[in-house]
Structure 1
Amino acid sequence: MSGQVQHHARRGEQFARAHEDGLRRVGRAGVAAEGVVYLLVAWLAAQVALGGSGGSADSSGALAQIASKPFGTVLLVVLAVGFLALLAWQVVTVVTADKTSHRVKAVVKAVVAAALAVSCVKFATGSGTSSGAQQQSLTQRVLEAPGGAVLVVVAGLVVVGVGVALVVQGVRKHFEEKVSGSLSPALTALGVAGWVARGVAFGVLGALVVVSATGDTGKSRGLDAAFHEIAAQPFGVVLLLLVALGLAAYAVFTLATARRRVRA
């Protein structure tokens, strides 16, 4: 039995390596789709800062915005296909990557791509819901379980760690490794701003998840809650507008480099 498993594993790896280049080219459509979503999230974050947001300032809010527009359903289907292509690329990367860190990042990207593809389909069919509300409900269920508060705190600290890592990657320009060829000074500046802004947003999000362990699950409503928390601080409107600009910079960087990506 173990011999058969090893044989199938080798066959799977051979298949993945043989099709890696093709799936990478197709998967770049998913990178561009991510850029579109982030551009809309940046716009929604700016609306929160200016006091005019009527929807959820996160990926679900961005998809809801698309769904409400003419031809929105068609665009959502296109985005879903792009995210599925990105998912396939990341699954292959898990098999072929030569570094454990790259495999872990590919797994995370694959999960996010799958979730976004499903969300696109749901909004295209009229059954989409706020991801923030879903996260709040999940946090509440975890808190009700034995040791749930500890799990929520750990999850929040992990998200804070991701935020710190994104800031470090942006400052050290690690994103340059994702793109073949050199980057112009303008694209490099967009990359730095984008990664730092995402790091700030995720850092605040993680801190709010930790706070929600006290029972205030409204604090765990995803990026939307993080943006509102930033806006509520002294000089928060200015800071949130800077974060929104940074997220827009990330979106432009992603769209501009999608066709040259060697890593998602």
Structure 2
Amino acid sequence: MNMNALSANGQAQARRAANSKAVDMGARAGFVARGVIYLLVGVLAARIAFAGGSGKQADRGGAIAEIAEQPFGKVLLWALGIALVGMALWRLSEALFGQAGPDGRDASKRAVAAGRFVFYGFVAYSVLSYAVGVQGSGSGSSDRRTADVTAKALGWTGGQWIVGIAGVVVVGAGLWIAFRAIARKYHKHLKTAEMTRRTRQAVDVVGVFGGAVRGAVFATAGGFAVAAAVQHEPGKAKGMDDTLRSFTQTPVGPWLLVLVAVGLAAFGLFSWANARYRKV
């Protein structure tokens, strides 16, 4: 057997592995895990809105800490982390072999999948590190990490431009996320034919509302990064927690944060719908 045949055989085996039941289950478990995190962040944000403050961070680190404090918290964190590893591996398979659907092998879609693989790999690492007792590896305050990274970047030559461009990119990503949710672009990724009419309506409610709010939060955080660059003040950049708290400083007071909290929780429910109906 020549080398080309061996290579083709290896690629075929890799593709079969990417389309295997294990990858399918990993992806769906990952959506469940993502839903848990967003639901908890929504709950923590609501606590801030109603209590006027909270000792818990309304971000991924706060959600992880909240889980750790529950009965069998360490077991739950291990389960969550392993599920997120499944999500990362599914995204990796999409980057290597393409997504489900006729245009799934487009280079742009595969590049986005690669970025998501890196992101979910980092999140999985953060959760599993917390489970084994390493609490400073990505599971701490997003506000502190954001300020530290921004301060370091602003100290570089051309740092203001770097931070400003990064902020604009995040704003754009947030608006793109919100637009896709409002336009219901997610329909092409879901097995809508398997849903009842009421299920489709419910999925659209949490998908549109949750996705729009998630995009708005990203866009707001990006706006703070742009402000930090323009004013050359690292403290102007905000992580998830401070971004959410900033919504209480609007004319409507904490009620805007309540709306955002409900939206983030809705996105968590939408993630669970993906766990059941996503085309993998």
Output the TM-score relative to the length of structure 1: 0.91
Q: Does 1:15 align with 2:13?
A: yes
- CA distance in structure 2 between the aligned counterparts of 1:7 and 1:231, rounded to whole angstroms: 62
Q: Deviations over 1:232-264 (max 9, x none)?
A: 11114222111111111111111133032225x
Q: Deviations over 1:78-103 (max 9, x none)?
A: 01101111111111100111122321
- CA distance in structure 2 between the aligned counterparts of 1:10 and 1:138, rounded to whole angstroms: 44
- CA distance in structure 1 between the aligned counterparts of 2:6 and 2:73, rounded to whole angstroms: 42
Amino acid in structure 2 at the alignment position of 1:234: P
- CA distance in structure 2 between the aligned counterparts of 1:230 and 1:240, rounded to whole angstroms: 5
Amino acid in structure 2 at the alignment position of 1:62: A
User: How far apart are 1:216 and its partner, in Å?
Assistant: 2.7
Amino acid in structure 2 at the alignment position of 1:222: G
Distance verdict in 2 for CA 1:221–1:16, change over 3 Å: farther
Which residue of 1 is the match for residue 102 of structure 2? Answer: none
User: How far apart are 1:207 and its partner, in Å?
Assistant: 0.3
Tell me which moved more, 33-42 or 131-140: 131-140
- Structure 1 unaligned blocks of 5 or more: none
Secondary structure at the counterpart of residue 192 of structure 2? coil
Tell me which moved more, 49-58 or 78-87: 49-58
Secondary structure at the counterpart of residue 57 of structure 1? coil
User: How far apart are 1:123 and its partner, in Å?
Assistant: 1.8
For the Cα contact (< 8 Å) 1:37–1:62, is it kept in 2?
A: yes
- Choose from 252, 256, 262 the match for 1:235: 252
- CA distance in structure 2 between the aligned counterparts of 1:8 and 1:173, rounded to whole angstroms: 43
Q: How do 1:172-251 and structure 2 match up within 5 A?
A: 172-182=183-193, 183=195, 184-213=200-229, 214-251=231-268
Which residue of 2 is the match for residue 42 of structure 1? Answer: 42
For the Cα contact (< 8 Å) 2:145–2:239, is it kept in 1?
A: no
User: Percent identical across equivalent pairs?
Assistant: 34
Distance verdict in 2 for CA 1:145–1:252, change over 3 Å: same
For the Cα contact (< 8 Å) 1:230–1:239, is it kept in 2?
A: yes
For the Cα contact (< 8 Å) 1:180–1:262, is it kept in 2?
A: yes
- CA distance in structure 1 between the aligned counterparts of 2:161 and 2:43, rounded to whole angstroms: 35
Tell me which moved more, 216-225 or 146-155: 216-225
- CA distance in structure 1 between the aligned counterparts of 2:41 and 2:146, rounded to whole angstroms: 17
Q: Deviations over 1:123-159 (max 9, x none)?
A: 2133222233122211111111111110000000000
User: How far apart are 1:8 and its partner, in Å?
Assistant: 8.7
- CA distance in structure 2 between the aligned counterparts of 1:233 and 1:194, rounded to whole angstroms: 21
Q: Does 1:120 align with 2:115?
A: no
For the Cα contact (< 8 Å) 2:27–2:275, is it kept in 1?
A: no
- CA distance in structure 2 between the aligned counterparts of 1:86 and 1:234, rounded to whole angstroms: 40
For the Cα contact (< 8 Å) 1:219–1:225, is it kept in 2?
A: no
Amino acid in structure 1 at the alignment position of 2:19: D
Q: Deviations over 1:213-239 (max 9, x none)?
A: 223323323111211111111114222
For the Cα contact (< 8 Å) 2:29–2:87, is it kept in 1?
A: yes
Larger radius of gyration: 2
For the Cα contact (< 8 Å) 1:25–1:259, is it kept in 2?
A: no
User: How far apart are 1:11 and its partner, in Å?
Assistant: 5.9
- CA distance in structure 2 between the aligned counterparts of 1:8 and 1:157, rounded to whole angstroms: 46
For the Cα contact (< 8 Å) 2:227–2:236, is it kept in 1?
A: yes
Q: Deviations over 1:105-140 (max 9, x none)?
A: 212221221111111122213322223312221111
- Choose from 104, 108, 115 the match for 2:115: 108
- Structure 2 unaligned blocks of 5 or more: 99-104
Q: Deviations over 1:171-226 (max 9, x none)?
A: 11011122223451111111101110101101111001111222332332311121
- CA distance in structure 2 between the aligned counterparts of 1:229 and 1:101, rounded to whole angstroms: 34
Aligned length: 260
- CA distance in structure 2 between the aligned counterparts of 1:12 and 1:48, rounded to whole angstroms: 53
Q: Does 1:52 align with 2:53?
A: yes
Q: How do 1:20-31 and structure 2 match up within 5 A?
A: 20-22=18-20, 23-31=23-31
